[in-house]
């Protein structure tokens, strides 16, 4: 990232990286919302923007991988000019409503785990709630979200350990993943049909609003500025588009076409 914007401070770049993580989570949750909610799914299928790719959960994990790839490539390309005043793998946390005072720096893994851990736990809770409301109890309904949870836990666990996250925090995230779907199933089983559907739609709406907010941040702080910054030089443009190609390559194995 420093190679794309050599005159930008480390604090500004840390904010961009933080928003990139939020944007990746928002993109994944938006794909999940369109795929899961029946009305939204019908509307998309009838439009010209239908994608027909069932990769909602994997968008979140690959979004984190994409941010890590971009950060690694850009730092390696600019390793001789790296600023050593702030330790690597840290992110400035700004106080809400004030840009003059900041918190102490925190590990990047903490930012990844707090944002994606909470958002994906909401996703799996709602998915379990939908399974409980259906009341069918088929084994495949329980195994499908379980395999998604295992895949994402492995990916995010490796990312967290690589960025300096401790084993204890990884263990707590594993407990959070493990408890979200069974808790949602139990809540769905005790709810009646009308209350269950209303609760499910309420949770889905909240998640979609959160995703929309993160997408606005992503477009304003990530996509448009970085497209403008690619005019710095041909080598920077190559690095930028190379990271995008790697990102698409990560998504391709999970596409259902």
Q: Are 55 and 254 in contact (CB under 8 A)?
A: yes
Q: Whole domain around residue 94: which residue ranges?
A: 10-254
Res. 37: pLDDT tops 50? no
Average pLDDT taken over every residue of the chain: 55
Q: What whole-number distance in Å separates Cα of residue 173 and Cα of residue 155?
A: 12
DSSP state of 8: S
User: Tens digits of per-residue pLDDT, 85-117?
Assistant: 444 444 444 333 444 444 444 554 455 556 666
User: Tens digits of per-residue pLDDT, 158-214?
Assistant: 655 655 556 776 677 667 777 777 777 777 777 666 555 566 556 655 655 555 555
pLDDT given for residue 93 in this prediction: 43
Indicate whether 18 belongs to any domain.
Answer: yes
Indicate whether 239 belongs to any domain.
Answer: yes
Indicate whether 96 belongs to any domain.
Answer: yes
Indicate whether 226 belongs to any domain.
Answer: yes
Q: Are 5 and 13 in contact (CB under 8 A)?
A: yes
Of 14-28, 39-53, 96-110, 127-141, minimum mean pLDDT range: 39-53
Indicate whether 1 belongs to any domain.
Answer: no
Indicate whether 4 belongs to any domain.
Answer: no
pLDDT given for residue 85 in this prediction: 42
Overall pTM surpassing 0.85 (yes/no): no
DSSP state of 2: T
Rounded average pLDDT over 222-238:
50
Indicate whether 5 belongs to any domain.
Answer: no
Q: Which one is predicted more confidently, 67 or 93?
A: 67
pLDDT given for residue 81 in this prediction: 46
Indicate whether 3 belongs to any domain.
Answer: no
User: How many folded domains does the chain comprise?
Assistant: 1
């Amino acid at each position: 990232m420093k190679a794309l914007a050599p005159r930008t401070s480390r604090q500004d770049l840390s904010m961009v990286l933080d928003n990139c993580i939020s944007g990746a989570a928002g993109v994944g949750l938006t794909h999940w919302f369109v795929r899961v909610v029946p009305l939204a799914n019908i509307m998309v299928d009838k439009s010209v923007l239908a994608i027909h790719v069932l990769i909602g959960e994997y968008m979140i994990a690959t979004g984190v991988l994409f941010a890590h790839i971009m950060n690694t490539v850009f730092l390696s390309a600019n390793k001789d000019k790296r600023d050593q005043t702030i330790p690597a793998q840290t992110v400035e946390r700004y106080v809400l409503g004030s840009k003059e005072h900041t918190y102490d720096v925190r590990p990047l893994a903490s930012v990844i785990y707090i944002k994606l851990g909470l958002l994906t736990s909401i996703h799996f809770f709602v998915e379990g709630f939908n399974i409980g409301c259906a009341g069918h109890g088929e084994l495949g309904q329980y195994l499908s979200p379980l395999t998604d949870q295992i895949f994402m836990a492995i990916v995010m666990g490796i990312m967290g350990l690589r960025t300096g996250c401790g084993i204890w925090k990884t263990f707590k995230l594993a407990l959070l993943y493990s408890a979200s779907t069974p808790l949602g199933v139990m809540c769905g089983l005790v709810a009646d049909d009308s209350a269950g559907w209303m609760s499910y739609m309420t949770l889905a709406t909240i998640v979609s609003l959160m995703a929309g907010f993160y997408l606005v941040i992503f477009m304003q702080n990530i996509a448009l500025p970085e497209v403008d910054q690619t005019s710095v030089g041909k080598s920077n443009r190559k690095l930028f588009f190379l990271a995008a190609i790697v990102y698409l390559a990560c998504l391709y194995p999970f596409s259902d076409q």
